[in-house]
Amino acid sequence: MSWNVFITREIPEEGIAILKRFCQTVEVNPHDRSLTYDELLQQVKGRDAILTMLSDKIDARMIQEAANLKVIANYAVGYDNINVKAATEGGIVVTNAPGVLTDSTADMAWALLFSVTRRIVEGDRLTRTGKFTGWAPMFLLGGDIVEKTLGIIGAGRIGTAMALRSRGWNMKVLYTTYKSRNTILEEDLGAQKADLETLLRESDFISIHTPLSEKTRHMIGTRELSMMKKTAYLINTGRGPVIDEMALVEALRNKQIAGAGLDVYEDEPRLKPGLAELDNVVVAPHLGSATVETRARMSVMAAEDIALVLSKQKPKNCVNPEVFTR
């Protein structure tokens, strides 16, 4: 068969090479930017497969226009950018990239936690601008991490990896999960499952790992932020809209919480007004999975799943398995 694949952004060569061995046409967006909705709409027409980014909105219209499409391989573990229901109705398989980015994203959550708690970015700014005038006993004091309470919202793969890294700091771990229990965390760390309110009230560090859905959109808003300790820090490496970002700006401005470390934003890549002016927040540009090794693994995973679907086999990471029983 003469398969035709479109990749919406340049990805590591490992994945492209797999696709080139298997498909006659493999085209990559030549621009150093995401395509606009209309540009993407033109590109999906006539393709058998598309390899998409979390920033590509694949809605019902896009799916309808892509009459030949058989598979959408999302280059991310989250797939809230895709209308999966419309894809399933259209008989299109949707795949994602779980597991391969667990460690890099958990590392990023810790990097943000350290950066904001020990005021590293603030200190870097002062040092570069010549405002470090010498060691002083009351200069840029942060918070301790050891033996504090870590609250994990969404103890799935990445949340679990984040929590397991707390061993070195002998922390108490609370977690929420939509599943019944996380036995790894309970057995390895003595972690306790908690309801959201208890977790918010008792944790010193709260790290968000829950996927974005209509249920989790604005899960953390004014009310929830007001339940947190004044000394607590909020970390988000999941999806921006899980936090009501304007409510967070207010809470940070009023010192209602101590700080936040963010990798994702409600209107990504834009920040809500006021966020960038605050000193008690570290803002990273969605780098959770951004390591050379992880991005290469993601490209292989997405490409292999495309090849499996096009050769009429089940992909390894299907998010809509019901598509096979329609």
Active site members: 239, 268, 286
Q: Least distance in Å: CB of 299 to ligand DGY?
A: 12
Q: Least distance in Å: CB of 236 to ligand DGY?
A: 11
Residue of 25, 121, 44, 116 whose CA lies nearest to 86: 44
Token pair belonging to 304: 């292999």
Residue 94 or 101 with smaller CB distance to ligand DGY: 101
Question: What residues have CB less than 8 Å from 293, skipping those under 6 apart?
Answer: 104
Residues interacting with ligand DGY, by CB under 6 A? Answer: 54, 76-78, 101, 286, 288-289
Length of the chain: 326
Residue of 125, 49, 33 whose CA lies nearest to 308: 49
Residue nearest to ligand DGY (CB): 76
Q: How buried is 107 (Cβ within 10 angstroms: 0-12 exposed, 13-18 middle, 19+ buried)?
A: middle
Alpha-carbon span 237 to 109, nearest angstrom = 6
Secondary structure of 263-311 as H, E, C letters: CCCCECCECCCCHHHCCCEEECCCCCCCCHHHHHHHHHHHHHHHHHHHC
Residue 35 or 158 with smaller CB distance to ligand DGY: 158
Residue 202 or 305 with smaller CB distance to ligand DGY: 305
Residue 278 or 300 with smaller CB distance to ligand DGY: 300
Q: Least distance in Å: CB of 242 to ligand DGY?
A: 12
Residue of 203, 231, 113 whose CA lies nearest to 165: 113
Q: Least distance in Å: CB of 297 to ligand DGY?
A: 11
Q: Least distance in Å: CB of 265 to ligand DGY?
A: 12
